Chains A and B, each alone.
Chain A
Amino acid sequence: MKFADFILPDAVSAEVKASNKQGVIREMVRSLVDAGGIKESDYEPIVKAIVKREELGSTGIGRGIAVPHTKHESVDRLVGCIAISADGIDFESLDCEKVQLFFLLVSPYDRPGEHLRTLEHITRQLKDDTFCRFLKQAKSKEDVLQLLEEADNNSFGK
């Protein structure tokens, strides 16, 4: 698997404007709409579904990373976006650390395996300290896309 398989390049942001949990979720789902990954009419239902999932337990998985997600009938393949907050946002993570790196995923109902494989891919890549640190320091969308491309070309952890 590669980041290019599911991250929509036009839905990558190195400058999160929101300052709270729901705000960053809204901003990221909006970026998926703007990038053509989901329909405008699905914006609000998907935001609500992701917020509801967060109520079951935060997807802040530690080390300043969160993977908010939901399944939704409107997508026929898993689509994702990335947002980076230099200052970090309180996401109620298990380790109580603020989150700087957000990977938001929307996946079809009938493919739970694809969702698990995607989480596996993201977390294995982020275990590489250099990749994780560079992503958190990224200043522009172009920086992020360059880092993702390098990760897809196995440039990290070698």
Chain B
Amino acid sequence: MINNIKKTLTVNHACGVHARVATILAKKANEFVSDIKLIKGSYAADCRSVLDLLTLGAFKGDRLELVVIGEDAADAAGAITALFDAGFYEE
């Protein structure tokens, strides 16, 4: 069954979504089959692509829209949200 989840996430990490954070997000997104997008303004990034994620220029305090479509959408959205909540497990 295809599920569709949309929610807003806030970047809490002090340095924003920089290369290492983007890599953590992309690796996590690759664990799922669903299509996972993070959107800021007119830029929509495929969460599997580090290059795409860096185009967002997502700074601390920025609000990103998470859109997940697919069979494991609920699990994928939960995993991505958990990374944001945990500050991407960085200092």
Contacts and interface: CB of A to CB of B under 8 A. Distances in A.
Interface string A111-145: 01101110110111011000000000000000000
A123 to B, nearest CB: 4
Interface string B1-43: 0000000000000111111101100110000000000000001
A119 B27 contact: no
B24 to A, nearest CB: 8
Contact of A112 (B15, B49, B52, B57): B15
Nearest to B16: A116
A78 to B, nearest CB: 13
B55 A123 contact: yes
B54 interface: yes
A120 B51 contact: no
* Most B C-beta atoms less than 10 A away, residue of A117, A122, A123, A127: A123
Interface residues of A, number: 23
Contact of A116 (B15, B26, B27, B52): B15
Contacts of A94: 23, 26-27, 50
B19 A69 contact: yes
B22 A117 contact: no
B39 to A, nearest CB: 15
Contacts, number: 58
B59 interface: yes
Nearest to B14: A112
B32 to A, nearest CB: 16
A120 B20 contact: no
Contact of B50 (A62, A69, A112): A62
A85 interface: no
Contacts of B18: 112, 115-116, 119
Contacts of B59: 113, 116
Contacts of B49: 61-62
Given A61-B23, A120-B57, 16 more contacts: A61-B49, A61-B50, A69-B19, A94-B23, A94-B27, A94-B50, A113-B59, A116-B15, A116-B59, A119-B57, A122-B54, A123-B51, A123-B54, A124-B55, A126-B51, A127-B52
Interface of B: 14-20, 22-23, 26-27, 43, 49-52, 54-57, 59
